[in-house]
Amino acid sequence: MRKAKVYIALLHYPMYNKRMDTITTSVTNLDLHDISRVARTYDVERFFVVHPSPGQHRLVEEIVSYWQQGFGGSYNPDRKEAFSRLQIADNLGEVLAVIEDETGLQPDTVATDARVYPNTVSYKRMKDEIHNSARPFLILFGTGWGMEKGLMDSCTYVLEPIEGDAGYNHLSVRSAVSIIIDRLLGGRWFE
């Protein structure tokens, strides 16, 4: 039984593009579906979709309301259940404030990146930390070509790349979230 409450945030700013310019990325419909379903499966408290633009907030609200109140909700109640974990936020500060409000504690932040950083930790250690700590954890996922360095440096932990030896670090964020959450929060199938 896990002690820590775990939250996920999918960030769209500040991200790099392939030329390492800082950009804002657009919301991708299937990110919302796939990550909400992962959040429900692995009992993640909340999946925050973080975007600075009100227009993108309206797009997310429209998609979610179809699966909550619209035809989608009655046709597929499993999707409705998954989307109940999704919450929109303007920026990371707002997410941290919501978690602190809810738990009375500042969360430790865990970033994920295909690159290696000095404060990189292993999945094994992170899984143990999460299972034994009473502190809340917020796991951050980037879009585009990854999170800006300043944001990475501000995190409590940075997870090691998923398959460091593969010679190819270009999984979709949907795959990365699925694999990382399975490693950190999944049952101990390997024992």
Which DSSP string do the residues of 103-141 spell out, in sequence order? HSSPPEEEEE-SS--TTEE-HHHHHHHHHH--S-EEEEE
Does 191 bind its own copies (CB under 8 A)? Our answer is yes
Does 85 bind its own copies (CB under 8 A)? Our answer is no
Does 33 bind its own copies (CB under 8 A)? Our answer is yes
| Nearer residue to its own copies within complex by CB, 17 or 154 | 17
Does 101 bind its own copies (CB under 8 A)? Our answer is no
Does 82 bind its own copies (CB under 8 A)? Our answer is yes
Does 132 bind its own copies (CB under 8 A)? Our answer is no
Task: Quote the least distance from Cβ 12 to its own copies, whole Å.
Answer: 17
Does 183 bind its own copies (CB under 8 A)? Our answer is yes
Q: Does the N-terminal peptide bond of residue 14 adopt cis geometry, omega within 30 degrees of 0?
A: yes
**Dist CA 70 CA 80 (whole Å):** 10
Place of tokens 């109140």: 69
Does 47 bind its own copies (CB under 8 A)? Our answer is no
For residue 29, the SS3 value is: helix
Helices (H) and strands (E) in the chain, counts: 8, 9
What six digits make up the tokens of 50?
A: 């973080």
First to last CA, the chain: 16
Find the binder of its own copies among 7, 13, 16, 42 (CB under 8 A).
42
Q: Which residues bind its own copies (CB under 8 A)?
A: 18, 30, 33-34, 37-38, 40-43, 76, 78-79, 81-82, 122-124, 127, 162-166, 168-172, 174-175, 177-179, 182-183, 186-191
